[in-house]
Structure 1
Amino acid sequence: MGKRRKPSPPSRARMAVLTTAMAGGAVLAAGTAHAEPTPSLASVKEQVDKLNEEAEQSVEQYNGFQEKQQKLQGEANRIQEKVARGQESMNELRTRLGAVAADQYRNGGIDPSVQLMFDSDPAGYLERASAQNQAAGTQTALLKQAQDEQRKLDQDRAEATATLAQLDSVGTELGARKQQIQSKLAAAQAMLNKLSTEDRAKVNAQQAADKAKAEAQQAAKTAAADRASRSADRPDMSTPAPPASGRAAAIIAFAQAQLGKPYGWSKSGPDSFDCSGLTSQAYKAAGVRISRISQDQWNDGPRIDRANLQPGDLVFFYNDIHHVGIYIGDGKMIHAPRTGKNVEVLPISAMPYMGAVRP
């Protein structure tokens, strides 16, 4: 039998080719395994809208804590001024008590009967003794007054301490809410930044299309209600509200003057507004004071049925009432939407409608 030939080892060139091919395959496999799927524009828009809505919820919470902080600061200042006045009163009482005590010490060291026996001027002594007894009565009255003042001072100091502690707690919560808002807005912006200029334009175009669609739907509903009302020969409760007059006209005039101004969270003008900042300032322009935040504005007046809406009414949205606008008639409102957008006119059907209030 012939000898079996051993297989010859691969040449260096062949080894290099194999190594390169294997390495390339490994890189390709790794790249495929770790590649992140590109989100669709619809997905990006949905996530950005959700983040902006969550940010707006936090804005109204922030506004609430900010308003509470301002009230607590005013209360703390008032109590601290009261404590300062009480301390001044106590210092004055201590000075007067010290003077009475010193006078009694100087004049009360000898028995009164002995003083009268040896006094060269008995009539003068009796006058001085009478004055001394009066001073003792004054001291008793001053001591009681001092005790009452000290008790009040201690109570005021305890109240001031509790108020300042509450103020610190609210300040901490305010900072947390601010961080929460900034984080959500930054996350939304980061998602948009990943898109190309063309895709960002598509997202903006989609938002404009959604708004136009909502307006068309509202117009169709109004027209259908109008036809149904006429055919049934009954008063139409869904026709456009009558033109605004008086207070309502002033409210709407202010809101219209802000159209196009940017949304600014926790802002009440004059250059930017959040939703409740716009509504509170519009009512203020008409001489009506309402609360600063939307959840409180919800309780600033009687509830109004949707069919009975009138221009100037406050309209509220979402289950937690975190968004509010000003009804202007014809199924539309003026509102400050969210970060990145401007004060605008929008159909009230464009968002989850919860109800209306007429302050």
Structure 2
Amino acid sequence: MGTGRRTLIATAVTVVCAISVLAAPGTAFAAPTPTPTATPSPAASPTPAPSKDLEAVRLKLDGLYHDAAVATDAYNAAEEKTKKQSAEIVALAKKIVAGQARLDGLKDRAGAAARSQYRTGGLPDAARLMLSDNPGEFLDGAGRVIEGQRATRGLIEEMTRTQQDLKQYAADASTQWARLETDRKARATAKKKITTQIAAAEKLESRLEKRDKERLAELERQAAYKAQTAWLDSGVLKDVNGKATAEGKAAVAYATAQLGKPYVWGAEGPDSYDCSGLTSQAWAAAGDPVPRTSQEQWKQLRHVDVRDMRPGDLIIYFDDASHVAMYIGDGAIIHAPRPGRTVTIAGAGSMPILGVVRPDAN
């Protein structure tokens, strides 16, 4: 990563976070430190002494927003399933229409064969031979009759297969409708939980005085800074020097272009995003689609060691894989944090890391 790009990242972090959360004291990065006049260092920034009550509020808010994130993942998963099931039902309906048309055509052919047989009088072959004035002509005709009988048997077998196919299509469609209804209910339940948790968090925040809100925001920054510092002090970035692939660069470029856009649960852009909406859309834009939810991204994508990660990789957070961010290098991530926040740059270690996954195969 060039000096200019690293300067851009460091400056963006300064503007967004108001303190340096990407580097602990003594940790060297290629990007130059912003000027003291533009950004005071964390140590120089006076902070009111946090009260136990306010810290309890912060933890409570974290819990509410975490539960909302889990419910958002469930909502997104149900939404993806309903889209897939709706498409499958449409495909089955088309098969049923085509199959019915084919069956109607087969029935017409069978009816024509039956009418032809009726016109011959339905006499046994022996009787028709005795009554015929031209045995040779009769035998020629008998050969054609045998061929017609074989064709009729084939026609009946084809009608039977088509009827069986139609029956199976109808059964499959019924199953998909049942699944669709189940997932619609799951989506509605998740939506209710999301709105309940977010409303509770907003109500809790609304009770705070302006000064307490400022102190709460400072507590959030301090907690993120402390976590990031501990992560960096572990030496985790010592051997991290992976280079982004072309696809990874494209994904990072897409995510970077979304900075400042609001978090909205269930959103996939272009005006707003939730955490996995941002990462899935970034990789779709890069030409490597990934699962929609953070939990499925964790389950389905290739896991890599933290020390092997490179820009474009996705970092999955919390034991339940309820949050995801994109690594952009130099210990930084881009992510959509939570309701009330915007797409931003933060420290990769500012939240508990579950692991790292790689969307591209190169």
Scaled to the shorter chain, the TM-score interval is 0.7 to 0.9
State whether structure 2 residue 221 is matched by structure 1 residue 211. yes
State whether structure 2 residue 86 is matched by structure 1 residue 73. yes
- Determine the C-alpha separation between the residues in 1 that align with 2:82 and 2:56: 39
SS of the equivalent of 1:303 reads strand
- Determine the C-alpha separation between the residues in 2 that align with 1:122 and 1:301: 77
- 1:348 is aligned with what amino acid? A
Following superposition, the deviation at residue 40 of structure 1 comes to: 4.5
- 1:152 is aligned with what amino acid? D
Following superposition, the deviation at residue 269 of structure 1 comes to: 0.8
Who wins on radius of gyration, i.e. which is larger?
1
- Determine the C-alpha separation between the residues in 1 that align with 2:230 and 2:148: 92
**Equivalent residue number for residue 118 of structure 2:** 105
- Determine the C-alpha separation between the residues in 1 that align with 2:58 and 2:348: 21
SS of the equivalent of 2:118 reads helix
Pick closer, same or farther for the CA change 1:128–1:343 going to 2, 3 Å: same
- 8 Å CA contact 2:250–2:286 kept in 1: the answer is yes
SS of the equivalent of 1:325 reads strand
Pick closer, same or farther for the CA change 1:355–1:120 going to 2, 3 Å: closer
- 2:275 is aligned with what amino acid? C
- 8 Å CA contact 1:239–1:330 kept in 2: the answer is no
State whether structure 2 residue 325 is matched by structure 1 residue 315. no
**Equivalent residue number for residue 230 of structure 1:** none
**Equivalent residue number for residue 197 of structure 2:** 184
Q: Which runs of 4+ in 1 moved over 6 A?
A: 120-123
State whether structure 2 residue 174 is matched by structure 1 residue 164. no
- Determine the C-alpha separation between the residues in 2 that align with 1:192 and 1:209: 14
- Determine the C-alpha separation between the residues in 1 that align with 2:130 and 2:240: 106
Normalising by structure 1, we get a TM-score of 0.76
Following superposition, the deviation at residue 242 of structure 1 comes to: 6.4
- 2:333 is aligned with what amino acid? M
Following superposition, the deviation at residue 128 of structure 1 comes to: 4.9
- 8 Å CA contact 1:263–1:343 kept in 2: the answer is yes
**Equivalent residue number for residue 328 of structure 1:** 328
- 2:84 is aligned with what amino acid? K
Equivalences for 1:39-78 in 2 at 5 Å?
40-78=53-91
Following superposition, the deviation at residue 264 of structure 1 comes to: 1.1
SS of the equivalent of 1:349 reads coil
Structure 1: stretches of 5+ with no match in the other structure:
1-38, 227-235
Pick closer, same or farther for the CA change 1:242–1:113 going to 2, 3 Å: closer
Following superposition, the deviation at residue 241 of structure 1 comes to: 4.2
- Determine the C-alpha separation between the residues in 2 that align with 1:137 and 1:286: 57
State whether structure 2 residue 188 is matched by structure 1 residue 154. no
Following superposition, the deviation at residue 132 of structure 1 comes to: 3.9
Pick closer, same or farther for the CA change 1:139–1:303 going to 2, 3 Å: closer
RMSD: 2.8
- Determine the C-alpha separation between the residues in 2 that align with 1:304 and 1:119: 86
- Determine the C-alpha separation between the residues in 1 that align with 2:125 and 2:243: 93
- Determine the C-alpha separation between the residues in 2 that align with 1:301 and 1:140: 52
State whether structure 2 residue 204 is matched by structure 1 residue 202. no
- Determine the C-alpha separation between the residues in 1 that align with 2:245 and 2:155: 65
- 8 Å CA contact 1:192–1:200 kept in 2: the answer is no
Equivalences for 1:253-332 in 2 at 5 Å?
253-332=253-332
What percentage of residue pairs aligned between the two structures are identical? 34
1:85-125 C-alpha deviation (Å, 9 max, x unpaired) = 11111111111111111221221244555555556676666
**Equivalent residue number for residue 27 of structure 1:** none
- Determine the C-alpha separation between the residues in 1 that align with 2:62 and 2:227: 21
Task: Point out the more displaced range, 148-157 or 261-270.
Answer: 148-157
1:145-170 C-alpha deviation (Å, 9 max, x unpaired) = 21222222222222221122111111
- Determine the C-alpha separation between the residues in 1 that align with 2:166 and 2:222: 64
- Determine the C-alpha separation between the residues in 2 that align with 1:120 and 1:305: 92
SS of the equivalent of 1:267 reads coil
Following superposition, the deviation at residue 46 of structure 1 comes to: 3.0
Q: Which one scores higher on RCO, CA 8 angstroms, separation ≥ 6?
A: 2
- Determine the C-alpha separation between the residues in 2 that align with 1:352 and 1:318: 5
Greater per-residue helix proportion: 1
- 8 Å CA contact 2:58–2:220 kept in 1: the answer is no
Following superposition, the deviation at residue 48 of structure 1 comes to: 2.6
Pick closer, same or farther for the CA change 1:212–1:251 going to 2, 3 Å: farther
- Determine the C-alpha separation between the residues in 1 that align with 2:288 and 2:152: 55
- Determine the C-alpha separation between the residues in 2 that align with 1:42 and 1:102: 89
Following superposition, the deviation at residue 250 of structure 1 comes to: 2.1
Pick closer, same or farther for the CA change 1:269–1:208 going to 2, 3 Å: farther
- 1:342 is aligned with what amino acid? T
Task: Point out the more displaced range, 271-280 or 112-121.
Answer: 112-121
